[in-house]
Chain A
Amino acid sequence: MFAFLIQTAGTFTPEQYQRNFVFLFYGLLTAWLVLLAFVGMLAARERKLRHELKRLRLMLEDKGPQ
């Protein structure tokens, strides 16, 4: 499928090539860390909302029979 894309990266020294790869790793890591941080924020909010919902339901149950 990708056979027609075959090229060589002959213009890079091994050091440049390695540095290039390290930055690619940083880039991919950063993208995932950002999305994971957002997932973490959502999870924290979910816990807070559930706790609040439970608390309010308990309050209503307590006040109900009065």
Chain B
Amino acid sequence: MRDKTIAVCSWLSALLLAGNLAIILLVLPDEATQGPIFRIIFFHVPVAWTAFLCFFAALIASVMYLGSKNLKYDSFAAATTEVGLAFGAANLLTGMIWARVIWGIWWTWDARLTSMLVGWIIYAGYVMLRRAVEETTERARMSAVVSILAFADVPIIFFSIKWWRTQHPQPVVYGGGFMSPGYWYMLFLNWIPLLLLAVALLLIRMRQEQTGREIDALRREVHAF
């Protein structure tokens, strides 16, 4: 069942992304002031939303792990965090390339960019922590605490462009900035396949966590002889 879901999500995502890419490159007109580079927003923004959603799911799973001590929640939190990190990296890098054209610089220590980078580093620390701690329940407990603390950065990333004067453009989703309705539509249209891709990656990663637990159990059995 899980393998079928992974296949369906992957294929659907690939087909939709191919279709969307054709619309983005061939149908949508250039934005008047930014030119073709503006089209990067149709990836830059949805990958950020996907990353935030993953980190939020990791927060919920971590809280549920601490409440129930069920290792399934720990596996889910680990999987969502890793997928979120991949999407977060895509967001940071596409943003840098856009900035090079529009601002003339690759990077600036602006509140949005800095808080996103700090968040990414904290979640990378979460992944490193998991590799450093051998004992399963100890690892799960420590990871859950780090995940909960790390999520404190996510609202800061999200609202940084509202709270501080930043070089990053104003939000187009919750006021301040403006985006033409056709672009808006494309932004959400391209989020669907990226979400499907995230689900497929998440299911693969969850399956690996399950295999990992199976391996741990077999190791104990082998050493018991």
Q: Which residues of A contact B (CB under 8 A)?
A: 1-2, 4-9, 11-12, 16-17, 19-21, 23-24, 26-28, 30-31, 34-35, 37-39, 42, 45-46, 49-50, 52-53, 56-57, 59-60, 63, 66
Q: Which residues of B contact A (CB under 8 A)?
A: 21, 27-37, 39-40, 43-44, 47, 82-83, 86-87, 89-90, 93-94, 97-98, 100-101, 180-183, 185, 197, 201, 204-205, 208, 211-212, 214-215, 218-219, 221-222, 225
Say how far B98's CB is from chain A's closest CB, in angstroms.
6
Chain A neighbourhood of B35, CB < 8 A: 9, 11-12, 16-17, 20
Say how far B179's CB is from chain A's closest CB, in angstroms.
11
Consensus secondary structure, chain A interface: helix
Chain A neighbourhood of B34, CB < 8 A: 20
Residue from A11, A35, A46 within 8 A of B33 (CB atoms)? A11
Evaluate contact between A30 and B97: CB separation under 8 angstroms.
yes
Chain A neighbourhood of B86, CB < 8 A: 34-35, 37-38
Chain B neighbourhood of A4, CB < 8 A: 180-182
Residue from B39, B94, B208 within 8 A of A45 (CB atoms)? B208
Chain B neighbourhood of A37, CB < 8 A: 86
In the complex, the chain A residue whose C-beta lies closest to that of B34 is A20
Give the one of B40, B47, B180 with max A CB within 10 A.
B40
| CA gap between A28 and B183 in the complex, in Å | 17
Chain A neighbourhood of B47, CB < 8 A: 31
Evaluate contact between B89 and A56: CB separation under 8 angstroms.
no
Say how far B99's CB is from chain A's closest CB, in angstroms.
10
Beyond A5-B183, A35-B197, A38-B86, 4 extra complex contacts between A and B, CB < 8 Å: A23-B98, A28-B94, A56-B218, A59-B222
Smallest CB-CB A-B distances: 5 pairs? A38-B86, A9-B30, A56-B218, A27-B97, A5-B182
Evaluate contact between A42 and B205: CB separation under 8 angstroms.
yes
In the complex, the chain A residue whose C-beta lies closest to that of B225 is A63
